[in-house]
Chain A
């Protein structure tokens, strides 16, 4: 299907799950297609990256359900930070493991799954709807993480066939198969659509992550995860990400960014990105705080570089 067909299939008020992790293998072409519609009032469910930031900046989000929102090499998406600090969107912030439990519950058509994560923490305060559940076997009590059931899931993979069998070629599946099973409909974008017989010609069968059973539509979108990573096809475009994050901190710069990169269709986007790099785009435009500065309240020092990049 085309990006336009996909975009016209999303209803206002829908609950939309978005696969990938942080600034990795995000279905950005699908997100950009959503930006070009007048759909609003969305509930977005995401282990978030710039997908969340762009949708928040465009005023499309009413409610945000997240384990985190990070650009990986930049700790926080500035649009997300602005949305939180202005109170512009309703939020449900969960521990990452709780979020995954919610995906698993939804995929299994359960109303919740018990988890130890969240007990004793303010996750229970921040989400007053959360309940605990008593074990029928002993005296323990767990968090009953509610299913994160979605109307629609959006995921991006390296390859797929036209029927919707999807394949990842990088080292990490993230949670994309769970998103596909946790939603009533799943739209899969991919770098390349290939004949079914080619899927396992040079890759192990274990790389087939999602089956056509759980996929409603497939869209071929070369560089469709840009500027997030889609290894081994491409790494994150760090220069462009710095440009994005720098622009997101200033309304005038953001208007220029939108004008340059988000006004046209996906082909226009690719052309504009090529132009950005041809012009020697190094990103940031001298705006401080993109990659280097670490303020005391910016989060624990060191979380953005060395060491583990997960909770």
Chain B
């Protein structure tokens, strides 16, 4: 069956919530949001999803819309409660990254010196708290040496090396999962460094390494699994009929 790169990314994102249990799925970006919904419809029916505003939804409004557009509300989650929930650990995130280094340190705050950045980005937002409280995965729709850098300018999301040296409280609940990109799925080896777990169909290990600004172990890299026929149907007919995914990952 034919499928697109975006659809491979959605199923790879979906797989990050496999076995997560009854936790709040926090998803930033189209592919992660579609992935969380697909996970809930397939392997992880207990997953808790929000409308991105103040409600948890047992049935969701269309992708990208809030409870005002329909669906079934099952609980109240105003902003203040998000921080309570994440500190209980019953949450799992997939966030974006403007920069990532080999240990999974993530930057979304600023480019250059934080005192006077050459480019102010969106700020650390919740990344420092997320990464020391529950599992965090990253989504990079443009795998390039610009994102995967030797060292990030501002550590927003905490990487494996920084968690190890940050004391017992920083380590205790720190858990980085995988990095899903438009080319590959990366995970972390025993040394805490990123490596290639799988390349998407049609992509080579060498291509991924060339688009990464630090050495990346490709030994043992497999091929990212293809979406099943049922997953494709759900993605196309239920989760994202407007194909917002193909705007994030063209082709």
Contacts and interface: CB of A to CB of B under 8 A. Distances in A.
Contacts of B117: 84-85
B57 interface: no
B27 interface: yes
Nearest to B113: A87
A97 B121 contact: no
Contact of B78 (A132, A172, A306): A172
Interface in A55-112: 66-70, 75-76, 80-81, 84-87, 93-98, 100
B4 interface: no
Contacts of A97: 83, 86-87, 126, 129
B124 A123 contact: yes
B3 interface: no
A286 interface: no
Interface in B128-145: 128-133, 139-142, 144
B26 to A, nearest CB: 6
B214 to A, nearest CB: 18
A303 B146 contact: no
Given A84-B120, A308-B28, A175 B142 contact: no
Given A100-B80, A308-B28, A298 B129 contact: no
Interface string A104-134: 0000000000011111111101100000100
A122 to B, nearest CB: 4
A48 to B, nearest CB: 9
B202 interface: no
B83 A300 contact: no
Interface in B90-144: 95-98, 108-111, 114-133, 139-142, 144
A119 B52 contact: no
Nearest to B169: A140
A244 interface: no
B63 interface: yes
B31 interface: yes
B155 interface: yes
A4 interface: no
The CB with the most chain A CB atoms within 10 A, among B95, B116, B119, B125, is that of: B125
A119 B109 contact: no
The CB with the most chain A CB atoms within 10 A, among B87, B95, B124, is that of: B124
Contacts of A118: 128-129
A296 B121 CA distance: 10
A21 B28 CA distance: 18
B12 to A, nearest CB: 15
B64 A306 contact: yes
B168 A140 contact: yes
A247 B126 CA distance: 29
A68 B132 CA distance: 19
A299 B98 contact: yes
B139 A175 contact: no
Contacts of A198: none
A61 to B, nearest CB: 15
B83 A93 contact: no
Contact of B123 (A69, A120, A142): A69
B166 interface: yes
Interface stretch (B157-165, B190-198, B226-234): B157-165
A45 to B, nearest CB: 15
A301 interface: yes
B86 to A, nearest CB: 7
Given A87-B116, A171-B53, A100 B83 contact: yes
A174 interface: yes
Contact of B124 (A93, A120, A303, A308): A93
A171 B130 contact: no
A116 B133 contact: yes
B34 to A, nearest CB: 8
B33 A76 contact: no
B111 A297 contact: yes
Given A93-B109, A121-B155, A173 B127 contact: no
B123 A300 contact: no
A293 interface: no
The CB with the most chain A CB atoms within 10 A, among B121, B141, B165, is that of: B121
B78 A307 contact: no
Nearest to A307: B33
28 contacts: A67-B123, A67-B125, A68-B122, A70-B122, A75-B122, A84-B117, A84-B120, A93-B109, A95-B124, A98-B128, A98-B129, A118-B129, A119-B128, A119-B166, A119-B167, A119-B170, A120-B165, A121-B157, A122-B109, A132-B167, A140-B168, A171-B55, A171-B78, A297-B119, A299-B98, A302-B248, A303-B96, A307-B33
Interface of B: 26-33, 50, 52-55, 63-64, 76, 78-80, 82-83, 86-87, 95-98, 108-111, 114-133, 139-142, 144, 146-147, 154-158, 162-163, 165-170, 172-174, 244, 248
